[in-house]
Amino acid sequence: MSFKLVRKWVSRLTTYLLFAVLIAMAVVVVSSKASGGEPEIAGYQLKTVLSGSMEPGIQTGSLIAVKPGGDMTRFTDGDVITFMDQEEKLITHRITEVVTSGDQVMYRTKGDNNNAEDLEPVLSQNVVAEYTGFTIPYIGYLVNFAQSQNGAFLLLIPGILLLCYSGLTIWRTLGEIEKQNKKETKNLEEGQSLSS
């Protein structure tokens, strides 16, 4: 395989990868701005994990998918839920015990990496969603940054550069096609003049 061919494939692969990342980030940022909260795709919310309480299963900085809605009293021991604590902060922890008191359902929870259970039980009405098991390590840092004002601005720069690069690539390709057409036309004209 020639060096030129390898360079061509690496260039194409890099372009496709950059476009995929740019489109994914644009979808995440636009969906979060449109919903006024966390990004949502196909009914799943994407949340950034900012603590190590669920390591090693869910690493700090991971992006996780959670499924909101449904009956929030349906969970059992071992399920991982996302809930709102008393300080209005979202937490994702594992259920260690289901406590029923009359019509009220509460969950005792614990982070997998924590030594003890959480101090306060979680009321079922404070449960926001169920963790689906989908995790992408470290991407959460990028999403968190992209949702900030500075991040949204800085993401425009690679987007603009990528568009410029794409425009240059298209312009070069059109130039090569035009050269090839001129060459074919010239060869065709020479062939006709030789036969006459």
* Tens-place pLDDT, residues 129-159: 999 888 888 777 776 666 666 665 666 666 6
The yes-or-no verdict on residue 164 having pLDDT over 60 is yes
The yes-or-no verdict on residue 40 having pLDDT over 80 is no
The yes-or-no verdict on residue 36 having pLDDT over 60 is no
pLDDT score, position 7: 76
Provide φ and ψ at 118, rounded to 5°: -65, 145
pLDDT score, position 98: 93
How many percent of the chain have pLDDT more than 90?
23
Asked whether the beta carbons of 83 and 91 are under 8 A apart, the reply is: yes
**How many angstroms separate the Cα of 187 from the Cα of each of 19, 173, 180, 184, 193?**
39, 21, 10, 5, 10
Asked whether the beta carbons of 82 and 133 are under 8 A apart, the reply is: no
The answer regarding whether domain 3-161 maps to CATH 3.40.640.10 reads no
The burial class, CB within 10 Å (0-12 / 13-18 / 19+), for 20 is exposed
Q: What is the pLDDT of residues 58-87, one digit of tens each?
A: 888 888 889 988 888 899 999 999 998 888
Tokens (6 digits) for 179:
């050269």
The yes-or-no verdict on residue 31 having pLDDT over 70 is no
Q: Within 10 Å of residue 58's Cβ, how many Cβ atoms? A: 24
Indicate which residues carry an active-site annotation.
51
Provide φ and ψ at 37, rounded to 5°: -155, -135
pLDDT score, position 55: 87
